[in-house]
A and B are shown apart, each in its own frame.
Chain A
Amino acid sequence: MSSATSSILRRASDSLSARVRWHPLEIIFWIVAFAMIWLMPTRHLIMTEIAWLGLFALSLDLIVGYAGIISLGHAAFFGVGAYVAALLAKHELINEPVLALLVAGLAAMAVGFVTSFLVLRGTDLTRLMVSLGVALMLRELANQFGWLTGGADGLQGVVMQPILGLFRFDMFGHNGFVYCLVVLFVLFLVARRLANSPFGLSLVAIKNNPLRAAAIGIPVDQRLIVIYSIAAFYAGIAGALLAQTTSFASLDVFSFDRSADLLLVLIIGGTGYLYGGLIGAILFKLMQDYLSVLTPQYWPFWIGALLVAMVLIGRDRITAWNAPLRHLAAKLDWRATRRAAAAAAAAEDR
């Protein structure tokens, strides 16, 4: 191999491994998230909501931000997860929450797999309509089968057993928050791995140009079915976390508002870099919390106003504001600095 080729190889290898390297800001993000367990114990209930909403938005990001499938009915899978988790606990079918969580996720995944075939047909607008329709149908089914789901009254009388048989869901939501945060973190790690794998790359390729993706040998439909099912699994887990931490499931888990809010959350945070859903969930919930205290009736007005402002200002300019922050992050990136220093030293030796 010529020296030119080997230098290209080294650069290629570096660039590809840089994709998966943990950025200092990421590490700080998760340290702060876990520090919340001790820092703000009185706010654990809202943080629990942030955690499952973040997971839910992450799930939507997998299909919107990576595969380019826009959905207005993602609550379908959230709802399936919530009801399955609540039913499992109520009828004491699976008492251990973590196992029940997994089963709820798999149930949502099964629904995602079946409906993926409907969603794949057609383009953006068709997909919006089909996903919306699926969620509406599931909501109505839950309404009709009142003997099972409790209908419009919701599923009451759910009693949760301790997590892993050890940790009770306490009324202040401390254990519930830790539980949600750990589940979110684990599933985030999996999603991060997935996004940087050849599979994840192929999704971005499909989103960019399905025609060419097929022309380099990517089975486009198969990949979309897989990611849609995985996203449904994530959404189901998020729904199950809601049901488990509140011991309740009602028809609004399927509601159109929930799907639409979710899209809002993801747009606020930004798509296609995994953290968008999490950051969006934090901003959305905190804003909702703050504004609903300020103006209990009119808070959606301010959310709407913010959204309009964001779109008008443009994402680019918003990211420009945090340029100093990114500069700091670059300084913090000691591994890069060290590598550069080593390379410089090697160059001098030559």
Chain B
Amino acid sequence: MALALQTKGLVKKFGGLTATNDVSLTVEKGARHALIGPNGAGKTTLINLLSGVQKPTAGRILLEGDDITGLSQHARVRRGMVRTFQINQLFGDLTPLETIGLAVSERNGLGMDWWRVAGSKRALLEEISSVLERFHLADVMNERTAILPYGKQRLLEIAVAIACQPRVLLLDEPAAGVPEDERHEILASIAALPADVTVLLIEHDMDIVFSFAQKISVLVNGGLFVEGLPDDVARDPRVKAVYLGEEAHV
């Protein structure tokens, strides 16, 4: 099976602290792969390395076989790897319509087009509308993002990433902070992704992880600890000890 994403000996050090310790991860094409681990295990750092927000101290990152370790964030997006953020990172002054419109325009190479009016191309408009509809954002599409309720903002957070039409999607705790009764909208939108889109999910919520993932990697103290099928991981006594056991006490 072809690999969508691969890291080789990835290391990230912040001074004396090793946040990512020799991580060699492989994510297969079309996978539903979850990355779990206790707080401070280095999950978000790993996503930051993959998406190019931070540069690794050592190691390489391969996207569909190509070395992208030296590429900038936006270049990785153009190659089809898109991420979402654990804490919403949105454009407060723009409306959801403008936000999605911007992402779609950029992907179609209109970002430097300074003459055409935003959204004047029919095909783009159709795409924008369909994303707004799928993520239940149509009713608030003309509201400023900053004043949207949290649940809508969270949907927009995911919708912007989808509007970039990723082939590899990195989801950093998509349901973080979303109340129980609003979760299904977000989870349904993730479940509805085309099967050929590779998804790497970081999540704390074990219900989500086990309902979604076909494969689970456990990260502890910056290093890969255990990797395997969900049932195997759930049964693994070492995982229970460092992670699930800890959860059970809470």
Contact = CB atoms under 8 A, between A and B. Distances in A.
Contacts of A200: 114, 118
B139 to A, nearest CB: 9
B130 A201 contact: no
A214 interface: yes
A8 B111 contact: no
Contacts of B106: 198, 202, 216-218
Interface in A211-227: 211-220, 223, 226
Given A11-B141, A198-B116, A219 B129 contact: no
B77 A16 contact: no
Instruction: Give the interface centre of A4, A5, A201, A218 by most chain B CB atoms within 10 Å.
Output: A201
Contacts of A205: 91, 94, 99, 102
22 contacts: A1-B126, A11-B138, A11-B142, A13-B125, A15-B97, A15-B141, A17-B117, A197-B113, A198-B101, A198-B102, A198-B105, A198-B116, A198-B118, A200-B114, A201-B118, A204-B91, A205-B99, A208-B93, A209-B91, A211-B53, A216-B77, A219-B111
Contacts of B95: 15
Interface in A178-223: 193-194, 196-202, 204-205, 207-209, 211-220, 223
Contacts of A17: 117, 119-120
Given A1-B126, A8-B138, A205-B94, 17 more contacts: A8-B129, A12-B97, A12-B101, A12-B129, A12-B141, A17-B119, A19-B118, A198-B110, A199-B111, A202-B105, A209-B91, A209-B92, A213-B91, A215-B77, A217-B82, A217-B106, A217-B111
B167 to A, nearest CB: 13
Interface of B: 51-53, 72-75, 77-78, 82-83, 85, 89-95, 97-99, 101-103, 105-107, 110-120, 125-126, 128-130, 132-133, 138, 141-142, 160-161, 163-164
Contacts of B111: 198-199, 202, 217-219, 223
A63 to B, nearest CB: 15
A114 interface: no
Contact of A211 (B89, B101, B132): B89
A223 B111 CA distance: 9
B112 to A, nearest CB: 6
Interface of A: 1, 4-5, 8-9, 11-13, 15-17, 19-20, 193-194, 196-202, 204-205, 207-209, 211-220, 223, 226, 272
Contacts of A215: 51, 53, 73, 77, 82-83, 85, 89, 161
A1 B127 CA distance: 11
Give the dominant DSSP class at A's interface: helix
A9 B112 CA distance: 24
Contacts of B112: 199, 226
Given A12-B125, A201-B98, A214 B93 contact: no
B89 A209 contact: yes
A36 B243 CA distance: 75
A281 to B, nearest CB: 24
Contacts, number: 155
Given A202-B111, A214-B72, A216-B103, A197 B117 contact: yes
A18 to B, nearest CB: 9
A11 B116 CA distance: 19
Instruction: Give the interface centre of B82, B91, B95, B115 by most chain A CB atoms within 10 Å.
Output: B91
Given A208-B91, A209-B89, A193 B114 contact: yes
In the A-B complex, the 5 residue pairs with the closest CB atoms: A16-B119, A217-B77, A212-B89, A214-B73, A198-B105
A8 B98 contact: no
A197 B126 contact: no
A9 B94 contact: no
A193 B113 CA distance: 10
Contacts of B97: 12, 15-16
Contacts of A194: 114-115
Nearest to A272: B93
A217 B107 contact: yes
Contacts of A19: 117-118
Contacts of A226: 112
A14 to B, nearest CB: 9
B103 A193 contact: no
A16 B85 contact: no
A5 B103 contact: no
A219 B91 contact: no
Contacts of A202: 102, 105-106, 111
Contacts of A9: 125-126, 129
A5 B92 CA distance: 25
B187 to A, nearest CB: 22
Nearest to B110: A198
A117 B118 CA distance: 28
